[in-house]
Structure 1
Amino acid sequence: MMRFTTLIKHPADWMTGEGADNAIVLTSRIRLARNIAGIPFPGWAKKYQRAEALEQMRPAVEALSCMKDPFSHELDSLSSVQKQVMVERHLISREHAARGEGSAAVIERRQSVAIMINEEDHLRMQSIRPGLELSAAYEALAEVDDQLAEKLEYAFDPDLGYLTTCPTNLGTGMRASAMLHLPALVLSDQIGQVLQAVNKIGLAVRGIFGEGTESLGNLFQISNQSTLGESEETILRRLERVISQVALHERNARGKLVEDDPDMVCDKIGRAYGVLRNAWIIDSKEALNHLSLLRLGGDLGIFSDDTVRLCDELLMEIQPAHLQMHSGRKLAPEERDTIRAEIVRSRLQSLEAPDIRSINKTGGDNDSSPDLGIA
């Protein structure tokens, strides 16, 4: 089995965006909730029942065709920092990290497929892909789901579909989401209108770490809210259509900002570069917001081509638990802010000053009206 140090040594495939158009849509994620028939759901189960459920599910998960030499550990065998690193990498949820005996995580080597055992439901499976690839992420997870269904009897009702702890997951048990980088919509004060339009058509908008978290670094997660009464294909088609429209609005907003106020755009990106290259103390929020502007600069041609990937790696590396793992010890917030600044300065050392003359003035049709109707 893979060790924790091996798991975190390299960024996940989806994190680097290799071969994908991830300038606006960073990642696509599919999550399926499943429970085992005849066993109390984790929230109601006694400790021995959770342990029995784990004993039944874990071998089936480890035997999946995609799980070649996976990372497979019970959560109570991991330190709090190790668990938090996995939360920051979107491999387990904050709720799962808080659970102990009877819970486990099984993660494929490339970190594209991760399975939480005994979280809110017996099984929480997820598949992540770079860019807008919801269908590909779903197909990969459907295969995992089919293989597990051959070995485990799911709790299923002919009328209600898959039975889940939370009623909002009844039916398909599927949550599909995409992480979007929307700095131009924020800078042009259109983000409120766009997100309101998304909410109106029954989709949820959350922060970088999902439900109950704020948006940092101009990153927003858009997902389906209903799972009952519609097929997986219908949910995915609607979500892909809306996310494509939001991405188009962002692309057009970038073009319009560059056309209407290039000095403001260059000033904000230049200031972000100056702070990140020279700061000796910087907290998470400030660092993420400045990296967001550097990432925008990379897309607009102000920085070299690999800047977007560098920013994506840094977005993960400067998270609190990653900093503590890097340092090999628990850090006070003030120490984290100093080490974070040091890492950012070091990684950006070779990034040349912004070339304002290279700003890319092509942006689309500049129609930024938030019409997300899907009729």
Structure 2
Amino acid sequence: MATNTSKYDAESNFPDFYTQRSMTESHLPLSLYKKLFHVQTPLGVTLDKCIQIGCEQPKPDEKLIGLVAGDEYCYDVFSELFDPVINEYHMGFGPEESHPAPDLDASKLTNGLLDAKYVKSCRVRTARNLSGVALPPCVCRAERRLVEQVFTSALNNLGGDLKGQYYPLTKLTKEQEESLRNDHFLFQKPISHILNNSGACRDWPTNRGIWHNDKKNFLAWLNEEDHCRIMAMEKGGDMKGVFERFARGLLEVEAMMKKEGHKFQWSPRLGYLSACPSNIGTGLRCSVHMRLENLGKREDLFKGICKSMHLDKRGTGGENTETVDFTYDISNEKRVKHTEVEFVQEVIDGVNKLIEIEKKLERGEEVAAPTQQQQTK
């Protein structure tokens, strides 16, 4: 597949990162760029497609990844760049390491019923992509239509408590749009740096949509940042129940896709593949909304405790949002080197510990901050 860059040498086209600080800029010397400049994946993705977001860094004071995969083959074809970026982002996941096989057995979880006085809701989500098709930054219209057809066919065949309906963004009635917005299911055209600057928002909103079951506790987003994002959620503290439904639905969708000759993008070393290297491995975010007033007033203590337990603490609405009424989004920090069950158990254990500490603070007891060694282990 010829491109206009074929007329120029690599040095002439090398990015001027200037104020853009990213992991890509750190790991992409001119020598490597020259080596990979004219290389293409089997689907025609070039290195320049992958690094474009690193050339449009909106926050020069914040070091982001600056790299996306245009298809599943990028992780191998451009491994000399992807591997060191993955290793840096995931805080140690070198080329000699491998992600374990999936484990979605909810029966292995313990203490999964969390105290509803503190935990307001539970959610588990992951990304899955269709093998053989380019990822959203490079997907063509025909491929995007195929993704929508394959995933909706599988989702629409779910039965029992998972039975549901698909709502294409281009065909929503005013009533459906209002209902989806009120349920916090509706996604808009993203304003995120990754999606817009990578090209993932082309042709918006065509062939995008929301699928959810009748009980509104199992949900899928189609053709947003990845081909499909699958989620399970409910109010209260039954994390084990939420994960069981998530795992069951995910496995049923995969089984139905396999019947039609399709499969998810998967690497024996990296696990499930995603457009953003941050979401490889399990791609799983297990999160709770919980109200912690006393810990919320002790920001440094709160932050240190979460870091020591490998938990992310985010605002009420998720990443880069404000905290309302001391309600936080608490989730697993990592995505790789452990199984889905292990990450969910890590969140369960961490949330129970946070509740224990909050109760101590309620009683006026002092709580020691984690040591530096505990925070970095």
Same fold at TM > 0.5: yes
Q: Corresponding residue for 1:104?
A: 209
Q: Is the 8 A contact 2:165 2:213 kept in 1?
A: yes
Distance 1:164 1:83, change over 3 A: farther
Distance 1:370 1:126, change over 3 A: farther
Q: Corresponding residue for 1:57?
A: 151
Distance 2:179 2:276 in 1: 26
Distance 2:161 2:189 in 1: 24
Q: Is the 8 A contact 1:168 1:225 kept in 2?
A: no
Q: Corresponding residue for 1:122?
A: 227
Distance 1:212 1:80 in 2: 29
1:120, distance to aligned residue in structure 2 (A) = 1.0
Give % identity.
21
Distance 1:66 1:45, change over 3 A: farther
Partner amino acid for 2:274?
T
SS in structure 1 of the partner of residue 278 of structure 2 = helix
SS in structure 1 of the partner of residue 121 of structure 2 = strand
Distance 1:115 1:93 in 2: 11
Matches within 5 A, 1:332-351: none
Distance 1:224 1:94 in 2: 25
Distance 1:206 1:133 in 2: 21
Q: Corresponding residue for 2:329?
A: 221
Matches within 5 A, 1:245-260: 245-256=353-364
Partner amino acid for 2:314?
R
Partner amino acid for 1:171?
G
Q: Is the 8 A contact 2:208 2:224 kept in 1?
A: yes
1:70 is matched with which residue: 153, 161, 164? 164
Q: Corresponding residue for 2:252?
A: 147
Partner amino acid for 2:130?
I
- 1:169 lines up with 2:169 in the alignment: no
Q: Is the 8 A contact 1:249 1:367 kept in 2?
A: no
Compute the TM-score of the two structures, normalised by the length of structure 1: 0.59
- Where structure 2 has 5 or more consecutive residues not aligned to the other structure, the ranges are 1-112, 192-200, 258-262
Q: Is the 8 A contact 1:172 1:231 kept in 2?
A: yes
Distance 1:197 1:166 in 2: 28
Partner amino acid for 2:282?
T
Q: Is the 8 A contact 1:252 1:368 kept in 2?
A: yes
Give the aligned length.
246
1:65, distance to aligned residue in structure 2 (A) = 2.2
1:82, distance to aligned residue in structure 2 (A) = 6.1
Matches within 5 A, 1:158-237: 158-186=268-296, 189-237=297-345
More moved, 65-74 vs 135-144: 65-74
Distance 1:207 1:71, change over 3 A: farther
Distance 2:304 2:181 in 1: 28
Partner amino acid for 1:106?
W
Distance 2:332 2:298 in 1: 22
1:95, distance to aligned residue in structure 2 (A) = 5.5
Distance 2:157 2:208 in 1: 18
- 1:134 lines up with 2:242 in the alignment: no
Q: Is the 8 A contact 2:124 2:233 kept in 1?
A: yes
Distance 2:173 2:359 in 1: 42
Distance 1:75 1:198, change over 3 A: same
- Where structure 1 has 5 or more consecutive residues not aligned to the other structure, the ranges are 1-18, 257-365
More moved, 132-141 vs 210-219: 132-141
Distance 2:151 2:251 in 1: 14
Distance 1:34 1:129 in 2: 21
Distance 1:183 1:96, change over 3 A: same
1:214, distance to aligned residue in structure 2 (A) = 1.5
Compute the TM-score of the two structures, normalised by the length of structure 2: 0.58
